[in-house]
């Protein structure tokens, strides 16, 4: 069951180019087993297709992990921090 829909904005460091990109994405919170579906990754002010594929993440302990692999990535950690900042702010 979807319990919330919102957008986030965050800085994402692309390695090894050491390029910092500002991205926005849409988030759906699913409450049955709390996880977040994050999609429509885009550069602010740019229309068109998503620049990254949809991800599903959840908080596990002090890490944000992908629901399918149970592993943390730089993307899951960065998006998770943006979700936390929205919840705190």
From the number of C-beta atoms within 10 Å of its C-beta (0-12, 13-18, 19+), residue 41 rates as buried
pTM to 2 decimals? 0.89
Q: Is the pLDDT of residue 51 over 90?
A: yes
What are φ and ψ of residue 76, in 5° steps?
-65, -40
pLDDT in tens, 54-89: 999 999 999 999 999 999 999 999 999 999 998 776
Tokens of 31: 């409450």
**Domain range summary for the chain, segments of one domain joined by +:** 2-88
How far from chain centre, in Å, is Cα 31?
Answer: 16
């Amino acid at each position: 069951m979807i319990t919330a829909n919102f957008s986030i904005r965050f800085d994402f460091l692309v390695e090894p180019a050491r390029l910092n990109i500002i991205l926005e994405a849409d988030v759906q919170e699913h409450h049955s087993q709390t996880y977040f579906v994050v999609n429509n990754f885009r550069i602010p002010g740019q229309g068109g297709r998503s620049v990254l594929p949809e991800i599903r993440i959840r908080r596990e302990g002090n890490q944000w992990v992908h629901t399918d692999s149970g592993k943390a990535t730089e993307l899951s950690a960065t998006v998770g921090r943006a979700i936390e900042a929205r919840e705190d702010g």
